Amino acid sequence: MRSLRLLSLLPAALLFASSLLAEDVTYSISPAIGPSLGRTPVTVKGIFGTWQYGLIFGGIGVPATRIDEHTLVASAPAHPAGTVDVGIFEYDIGISTGLKYTFVDVGPSSHFERLLLPIFMPPARGLFGSEFHSELRAAVPNAAGPISLFGAAWPFSSSSDPAITLQSGSDATLIRDESDFNGNPGRFVFVEKDSFDILGLNLRAFDVSRNAQTFGTEIPIVHEREFSQTLITFPGVPIDSRFRTTLRIYAAEPGTVRVTVGTQTFNVTLRPGGNQYEPAYASFSDFPIGSGGSTNVTVEPLILYFSPVVFGPPVWAFLTITNNDTQQITTMSPHR
C-alpha cells in the first residue's frame, strides 16, 4: 500500500482525498451516534495490526487504542451537529471505512459558537480585469490550544466536512476550496464555546490583477449573536457613478427581507444554504446611479403576522463599495 505521511496542521480531511480502501475488510462502529460535545466511547470492529491507530470523525482525528486484532476503542471528539464519515489512521496511512457517525446537540444550548465569514470564496474575476482573492488567517496564542475550526476548507481538501485543528502557538492561512462553491460567498465556521475570544482571526479580500495600491480590505467576521430581527441601517451610502455598490444579506435560514434605498423599497428573498456551513444568502446591487451624493439604506426581516406573531430569521448585512478606477474595496457594516 502507498503510505501518506502526516503533516502537522493539515486537516484530517486531506488524508481522505488520497486514502486507500482496505480490501476485504468490513468495519462497524458502535454506537454510531453521540452528543456534539464529544467524549462518547466508541468501538470500531475490523482487522488491525499491532501499530499505532487513530480515528477520524469528519475532519478531526483522535487517538485509538487497539484492544485486539479486531477491536479499536476511542472517544468521539467535540463536533458540530451532523453526520460525518469515520476513517482510520493506520500508522501513517488513511483508510476509508464507509462508516458514519452522527453528532447531536444536547442540553439548552449548543456546545459550539457559529461565526460568519461574509466573503470567503475561491478566486473570482470582477469588472475591468480585476481578480479578487480572499484568505482567512487563524492563530492560536501559546498555552491556548488546541482549537478546532470547522468549515474553513483548505485548497486541497475535497471533504464535505472541512476542519483544521491548530495547536498552541500555531497559525495557518486558509483559502476556500472550489469543490463545494456554488456562488454563495458566505461561509459559517464553528468553534467550541469560549474559543472565539481566544482565537485570532483575520479575513481579507484583495485584488491580484494589478499593482496593488493597498494590502487588501479587511472583511468583518461576525458572531451569530450579532444577527438581528430588527431594522439594520446604513447611513450615507454613496450614490455615485464612480463606485459600484453591493448589499449582501445573510441568515441561518432562508427568508425574505425588505430593503429600502432612499425612498424605494424592495423585497429580497434569501436562498437557502446548501449545508450547515453555508448561510442563506442574497445580494442586491440595484442602486440608483447619480453624479454624487449619498442616501440611506435599511434592511428589515419581514414579520409574519400570525397568532402568535412569528418573526423572520435573524439576518446580518453589509455593503461592499468598489472604486471603478482603482478596484479598491470599502466595506460598510450596519448601524443599529
Out of 199-203, 222-226, 291-295, which region has the weakest mean confidence (pLDDT)?
A: 291-295
pTM metric for this prediction: 0.81
The three-state secondary structure class of 293 is strand
**DSSP letter, residue 307:** S
pLDDT digits (tens, 9 = 90+) for 74-116: 999 999 988 999 999 998 888 989 999 999 987 656 789 999 9
* 198 and 255 part of one domain: no
Cα 102 to chain centroid distance, Å, stands at: 19
**Following CA atoms 271, 272, 276, 279 in sequence, which dihedral angle do they give, to the nearest 10 degrees?**
30
Question: Is the distance from CB of 150 to CB of 82 less than 8 angstroms?
Answer: no
> pLDDT grade, residue 15 (50/70/90)?
very low
Q: What's residue 193's pLDDT?
A: 87
* 62 and 144 part of one domain: no
Query: 48, 70, 104 — which closes off a domain?
Result: 104
Angle (nearest 5°) at CA 250 between 213 and 147: 75
Q: What's residue 10's pLDDT?
A: 39
* 231 and 316 part of one domain: yes
The phi and psi torsions of 14 (rounded to 5 degrees) equal -60, -35
* 118 and 199 part of one domain: yes
Mean pLDDT, range 273-290, rounded to an integer: 87
Spatial distance between the Cα atoms of 40 and 103, rounded to a whole number of angstroms? 10
Q: How many domains does the chain have?
A: 3
* 199 and 237 part of one domain: no
Instruction: Classify the C-alpha dihedral 285-247-154-174 as positive or negative.
Output: positive
Strands 20-21 and 93-104: parallel
Question: Is the distance from CB of 216 to CB of 105 less than 8 angstroms?
Answer: no
Query: 179, 207, 222 — which closes off a domain?
Result: 222
Spatial distance between the Cα atoms of 241 and 27, rounded to a whole number of angstroms? 63
Q: Residue 233 sits in a domain of what CATH number?
A: 2.60.290
Is position 39 within any domain? yes
Q: What's residue 153's pLDDT?
A: 67
* 240 and 325 part of one domain: yes
Q: What percent of the chain has pLDDT over 90?
A: 48
* 96 and 20 part of one domain: yes
Look up residue 212 and give its three cell numbers: 496593488
Query: pLDDT at residue 220 above 90?
Result: yes
Is position 249 within any domain? yes
Q: Which helix (H) or strand (E) holds 15?
A: helix 12-17
Query: pLDDT at residue 5 above 60?
Result: no
Question: Is the distance from CB of 61 to CB of 92 less than 8 angstroms?
Answer: no
63-71 LR contacts (CB < 8 Å, sep 24+): 64/88, 64/89, 70/45, 70/46, 71/43, 71/44, 71/45
Q: What's residue 13's pLDDT?
A: 43
Q: Which helix (H) or strand (E) holds 14?
A: helix 12-17
Query: pLDDT at residue 199 above 50?
Result: yes
* 183 and 263 part of one domain: no
Question: Is the distance from CB of 133 to CB of 208 less than 8 angstroms?
Answer: yes
Q: What's residue 21's pLDDT?
A: 44
- Which residue range(s) make up the domain with 47? 12-104
